[in-house]
Each structure stands twice: as structure tokens, then as C-alpha cells.
Amino acid sequence: MVYHGMISREEADQLLSQAEGSYLIRESQRQPGTYTLALRFGNQTRNFRLYHDGKHFVGEKRFESIHDLVTDGLITLYIETKAAEYIAKMTINPIYEHVGYTTLNQEPTLKKLLPLSPEAPDGPAPAKDDNNAEERLTSLVRRATLRESDLAPKYEKVHNFKVHTFRGPHWCEYCANFMWGLIAQGVKCADCGLNVHKQCSKVVPNDCQPDLRHVKKVYSCDLTTLVKAHNTKRPMVVDMCIQELEARGLQSEGLYRISGFSELIEDVKLAFDRDGEKADISSNAYEDINIISGALKLYFRELPIPLITYDAHPRFIEAAKITDAEKRLESLHEALKLLPPAHCETLRYLMAHLKRVTQYEKENLMSSENLGIVFGPTLMRAPELDAMTALNDIRYQRLVVETLITHEDVLF
């Protein structure tokens, strides 16, 4: 029987002393109602606090049964005990540096894997005739041989690692060592598919190249992830909506202030999520220009990290509180440097557009102040603050956007 009720550590040790790998569950005498897994390994009994939420788990791993938990635990203990010195050195000479992004188009051995593209004689390109060629390449080599557009900037992006259970044998794509355990053997980047040990994930460079197979939507997607996945300077939804607005909406009264029909705005969102840059937002599909402006505002509202990021938000608010106009501009210029490059480029493009909107103020009745009121809370949502602080920030958010519009040629 696995469960032995409320017994002491000493009693558990005596019961398990006969067999290596034996285990039992006991209720704690010091804290009744809490349970401990006692496991015999290395001629000593080890005790682990046991939790249960429908599955048994210790730490971040969850198991269907105690047997699976113990099996995984024994594997991990054995590896960490017998190969501790080796594990500590795993990240010292990673293969990642030799076939990762840092040597894009520079590794001679990679050039032998794929034929040269006639359009780019100095770099490798995927073979089009052999359908199995790409499947034979690991995701690491696939990323190493990606051709990037010269027009798109090389934005830095951290990997979006999630604990992952691999089916069958897997090797770390950073250190090339085996990933051990029954479940949750390592982590996988949700954006590019890179598979590494948890400890290796801490030293992997911030060079994630998102794969469209993993990035399946446009709205509610991290901005840098989206532009890197599509290899563009800015999100295509921003470029396309602004182009459409400037083609037929600059003189529309109340542009951005008047809301379009919410169901049709949702249709535009679904079109971008489904079709990407092929989405039809022309006047033939959406005659009311306020639907397009509403879709653009919705995109910014649904960003998981606001265009003016949570980290940079306090610096922008501090700048807005400065009464001296020249010093305020200097402070805003410094605050802009805190934004991720893709965020800063998108903000620059948007502010230039909004300034062009103000040039038609007589027709559309939208001044930089009015646009600041509309876009302030949309572009710089506050971090978790108390209600009074958030309310006070609204006027400074308006002032930030108003200043960015008025002085976009100086600030960017």
C-alpha cells in the first residue's frame, strides 16, 4: 500500500530502507492535512511536499499517477546525481552558436544542405523540388537557413518558452544533449518552436524568429512577434488601415472619434486573423471609414503589451508632468528609447499619420488634443494601479499623445 497515514520521517525511513527506489506517501505530523512523498534513493530517504489538484505534482510538473511521478523523479535524481558535473558544463560549448541565428548564412556546412537560390547567390534557400528536404532539417537548422528581407529590420525578440512534454527521444537544440524525464522534459518556444532544456533557456540569445505555423492570428498577438513572423517593419494591420484611411478618410468628420458598427469592426478583425495581408478592407467591403478606424483602434487595444509598454509607461507619465515645454520634449525623447524597436517604429508611423489627420482639422474637426483624448488610453494602458492613480493618469496620457503628434518630426 502506497499511503501509510500519519507516520514520522523516522518510521518512513525504516519502512523504505530495504529497497532502493521504494516510496510511500505519508501525512505530515507537524502539519496535518499536508502530504509528503518519501522516496528511497542513494541509500537515503528523501522527502518531497506533495500537492494535488486533480493530478499529483511536485513543483511545476503534474502527473496522472504517483507511479509516473516517482518514475520521473528517479530518472531526474539519477541524471542529476551521476552527471551533475556534466550538466553544469552543458551550456559552455553550445551547438546553437554554430548553427543558430548568430551565424546566419555564414556556416559552410549549412550551405551544403540546400541548393543556392538564383535570386540570392550568396545565401542558401529551401529546395522547392524536394518536398521532404525541409522535414529532414531540424527546426534549428531551418531557422539558421532562413533568408531575411533586406527591407525588414532585424528586431530583437526574446523566446516565448513554455514547459513542454516531448513524445519520444528529444535533444536540446541549444546544447545538443538528451532531454530526460517522462514529462515536461524541457521547454518549447511557442513562437518559433525552439526546443531546449529549462536551464539552457536561461542563456539562449534573444533571437527568436517566429514561425507562421505557430503565430496563427494578427489581433491579440505580441507586436514584435507579429512583425518578425511576417518579416515586416510594422504590423500589416497598421499599414493597411492607415493607407486606407489616408486614401479616403482624412476629411471625414469625427475621424477616430466616431465609432463604426461594432459587428463590422469585428468582421475586419476576423478578416485580418484569417487572411492577413490579403484581407479586403476596401470601400467595396466596408464603405463606412469609421469601421476601418475602429479596427485600427481595436488592434492597439488588444495588444497584450501596449504600444507604449508597461515598462516605459512611468517614464512617459513623468515626462508629461514636466511644465517646461523644451524639457518635456527632451524627457519624451529619452522615454522613446525605452520602447522595443518594433513598438517605436509603429508609434512613429502612427504619429506621422495622426499629424496628417490634424492637417485636415477644418474638415474632420480632429485636433491633436482630440486625438490625444482618443488614443491616450488606447496606446498607453497603465500597469495595475489603484483607481484614483489610473484616473489621474488619463490627462497625462492625453498630453503624451498630443505632444507626440505635434512634435513627431522632432521626437522620432
pLDDT (0 to 100) of residue 290: 97
pLDDT (0 to 100) of residue 299: 98
Given a contact cutoff of 8 angstroms between Cβ atoms, the answer to whether 402 and 395 are in contact is no
Per-residue exposure over 319-357, b if at least 16 CB sit within 10 Å of its own CB, e if not: bbeeeeeeebbebbeebbebbbebbbbbbbbbbebbbeb
Vertex 68: Cα angle to 3 and 180 (nearest 5)? 140
Q: Which residue has the higher pLDDT, 190 or 100?
A: 190
Rounded distance, CA 68 to CA 57, Å? 10
> Where in the chain are all domains bearing CATH 3.30.60.20?
161-217
Rounded distance, CA 115 to CA 121, Å? 10
pLDDT (0 to 100) of residue 349: 97
Rounded distance, CA 333 to CA 328, Å? 9
| Model confidence band, residue 5 (pLDDT cutoffs 50, 70, 90) | confident
pLDDT tens by residue, 85-98 = 777 776 676 666 55
pLDDT (0 to 100) of residue 180: 83
Vertex 206: Cα angle to 204 and 208 (nearest 5)? 95
pLDDT (0 to 100) of residue 314: 93
Q: Which residue has the higher pLDDT, 53 or 178?
A: 178
pLDDT (0 to 100) of residue 97: 55
Task: Give, to the nearest 10 degrees, the angle between helix 387-406 and helix 341-358.
Answer: 70
Given a contact cutoff of 8 angstroms between Cβ atoms, the answer to whether 324 and 403 are in contact is no
CATH topology of domain 9-87: SHC Adaptor Protein (3.30.505)
pLDDT tens by residue, 18-33 = 888 888 888 888 888 8
Contacts 24+ apart (CB under 8 A), 242-249: 242/296, 242/349, 242/350, 242/353, 244/281, 244/282, 244/289, 244/292, 245/289, 245/292, 245/293, 245/296, 245/353, 246/353, 246/356, 248/283, 248/289, 249/289, 249/292, 249/293
Given a contact cutoff of 8 angstroms between Cβ atoms, the answer to whether 371 and 400 are in contact is no
pLDDT (0 to 100) of residue 104: 35
The chain-wide mean pLDDT, for the chain, equals 82
Rounded distance, CA 183 to CA 143, Å? 26
Given a contact cutoff of 8 angstroms between Cβ atoms, the answer to whether 399 and 377 are in contact is no
Given a contact cutoff of 8 angstroms between Cβ atoms, the answer to whether 65 and 59 are in contact is no
Given a contact cutoff of 8 angstroms between Cβ atoms, the answer to whether 332 and 326 are in contact is no
> Where in the chain are all domains bearing CATH 1.10.555.10?
218-411
Task: Tell me what percent of the chain is helix, strand and coil, each rounded to the nearest 5.
Answer: 45, 15, 45
56-70, 161-175, 282-296: range with highest mean pLDDT? 282-296
Considering only CA atoms, give the Rg of the chain.
28
Picking from 133, 115, 136, 132, the residue whose alpha carbon sits closest to that of residue 124 is: 115
Q: Give yes or no for residue 356 having a pLDDT over 70.
A: yes
Rounded distance, CA 304 to CA 286, Å? 27
Q: Mean pLDDT over residues 339-348, rounded? A: 96
Output the 3-class SS for 84-133. Answer: HHHHHCCCCCCCHHHHCHHHCCCCHHHHCCCCEECCEEEEECCCCCCCCH
Q: Give yes or no for residue 222 having a pLDDT over 70.
A: yes
Domain 218-411, classified CATH 1.10.1060.10, yes or no:
no
| Lowest-pLDDT range of 167-176, 293-302, 322-331, 373-382 | 167-176
pTM for the full predicted model: 0.67
Reading the block at residue 326, the C-alpha cell is 523644451
Given a contact cutoff of 8 angstroms between Cβ atoms, the answer to whether 36 and 23 are in contact is no
Given a contact cutoff of 8 angstroms between Cβ atoms, the answer to whether 219 and 273 are in contact is yes
| Model confidence band, residue 131 (pLDDT cutoffs 50, 70, 90) | very low
Q: Which residue has the higher pLDDT, 360 or 148?
A: 360
Q: Which CATH architecture has domain 161-217?
A: 2-Layer Sandwich (3.30)
